[in-house]
């Protein structure tokens, strides 16, 4: 990283610059700066990793999403500056204010387990989700998201089948889950802005309070219940599979939904929520298969990608269990 060029572009003095851990798709850098007036600030710089997933948003699009979410009061880091000139760092980047706290999923889940669940925290997460979902099409600033799907559930099934076909590895258990989704699809609802990766691990928590929602690169127009199902899917509960930890392994689903409806979100109903929990499990398996595929094709050598493929059998067991419950009417 060329610090001098970056400092000149940002118009600040850089006191410290360090790569932050994590980020399979993007790189995040912690940036301590002194502003022209002498005030000090903590920022985060976000730029691309080589071999970025094709489904991922560009940094300019992610910046527009952050601006929209910040304006909607959805608890995100304030976006500060976008630079699309690849000459500065070799790839486009943007800068946002740094949020205190941790997003480490296993750590937060362990703390929640020790506390017997964190209903206040998950209610705040529900309120934040409702504010994101209040963003509705059409939005000229989010035109890159394309047209909203007329039937988000049918669109989801078609999208997952297309990705399985493209990957060309037969996956009978995932097909079993998709077939059950196709048979049990709830009626279409108007699409809203969905974050599409709203889960423990992407939610910054500081001193027990929600501090910021990270990683907006998968956002799109969708059934708002897609985010609730993703957050409450068994695979994102970080081992806290007992009752009272349905919401991201952190707290009760009832508290999440109470916060969600209190802030204006429409309660999804148990059938629609169960549909999107199963959809979430299948979607994570499809993403994991694609990530392992990048390792197997030789495109990337990261051990993390190689290991990600090994989450699929566990997800398949979850899929079989959820389909059984859905067909028995006990989902």
Partner 1 sequence: MQERPEARELLAAARGTLLERLLPALPPALHYEARMIANAMAIAARAAAPPPVPAALAADAACLAAAIRRGAFAPGTPGHAACAGYLRGLAEARARVSNPKALAR
Q: Determine if 320 is a binding residue for partner 1 (CB under 8 A).
A: yes
Q: How far is the CB of 232 from partner 1 (least distance, A)?
A: 17
Among 183, 206, 269, 271, interactor with partner 1 by CB under 8 A: 183
HEC profile of 29-91: EEEEEECCCCCEEEEEEEEECCCCCCCCCCHHHHHHHHHHHHHCCCCCCCEEEEECCHHHHCC
Q: Determine if 313 is a binding residue for partner 1 (CB under 8 A).
A: yes
Q: How far is the CB of 168 from partner 1 (least distance, A)?
A: 9
Q: How far is the CB of 183 from partner 1 (least distance, A)?
A: 7
Beta carbons within 10 angstroms of residue 290's beta carbon = 19
**C-alpha to C-alpha distance for 294 and 301, rounded to whole angstroms:** 8
Q: Determine if 71 is a binding residue for partner 1 (CB under 8 A).
A: no
The nearer residue to partner 1, 1 or 134, going by C-beta atoms, is 1
Residues from 220 through 279 that contact partner 1 (CB under 8 A) = 241
Q: How far is the CB of 172 from partner 1 (least distance, A)?
A: 5
In Å, how far from its chain's centre is CA 227?
8
Among 41, 67, 110, 176, interactor with partner 1 by CB under 8 A: 176
Coil vs helix vs strand at 158? helix
Q: Determine if 37 is a binding residue for partner 1 (CB under 8 A).
A: no
**C-alpha to C-alpha distance for 53 and 140, rounded to whole angstroms:** 25
Q: Using only C-alpha atoms, what is the Rg of the chain?
A: 20
Q: Contact positions toward partner 1, by CB under 8 A?
A: 21, 161, 164, 170-173, 175-176, 178-179, 183, 241, 303-304, 306-307, 310-314, 316-317, 320, 324, 327
């Amino acid at each position: 990283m060329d610090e001098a060029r970056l400092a000149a572009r940002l118009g600040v003095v850089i006191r410290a610059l360090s790569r932050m851990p994590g980020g399979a798709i993007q790189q995040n850098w912690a940036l301590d700066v002194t502003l022209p007036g002498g005030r000090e600030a903590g920022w985060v710089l976000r730029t691309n990793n080589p071999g970025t997933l094709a489904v991922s948003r560009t940094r300019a699009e992610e910046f527009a999403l952050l601006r929209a979410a910040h304006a909607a009061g959805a608890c995100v880091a304030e976006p500060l500056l976008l630079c699309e000139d690849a000459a500065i760092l070799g790839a486009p980047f943007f800068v946002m204010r740094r949020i205190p706290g941790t997003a480490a999923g296993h750590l937060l889940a362990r703390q929640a387990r020790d506390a017997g669940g964190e209903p206040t925290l998950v209610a705040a997460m529900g309120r934040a989700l409702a504010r994101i979902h209040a963003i509705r099409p059409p939005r000229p600033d989010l035109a890159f998201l394309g047209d909203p799907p007329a039937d988000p559930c049918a669109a989801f099934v078609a999208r997952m089948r297309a990705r399985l076909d493209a990957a060309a590895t037969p996956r009978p258990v995932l097909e079993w889950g998709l077939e059950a989704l196709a048979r049990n699809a709830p009626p279409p609802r108007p699409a809203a802005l969905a974050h599409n990766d709203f889960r423990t691990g992407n939610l910054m928590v500081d001193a027990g309070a929600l501090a910021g929602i990270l990683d907006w690169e998968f956002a799109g127009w969708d059934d708002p219940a897609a985010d609730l199902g993703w957050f409450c899917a068994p695979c994102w509960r970080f081992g806290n599979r007992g009752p009272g930890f349905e919401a991201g392994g952190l707290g009760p689903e009832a508290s999440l939904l109470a916060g969600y409806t209190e802030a204006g979100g429409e309660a999804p109903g148990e059938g629609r929520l169960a549909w999107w929990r199963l959809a979430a499990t299948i979607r994570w398996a499809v993403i994991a298969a694609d990530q392992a595929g990048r390792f197997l094709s030789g495109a990337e050598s990261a051990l993390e990608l190689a290991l990600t493929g090994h989450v699929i059998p566990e997800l398949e067991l979850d899929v079989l269990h959820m389909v059984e419950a859905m067909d028995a009417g006990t989902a």
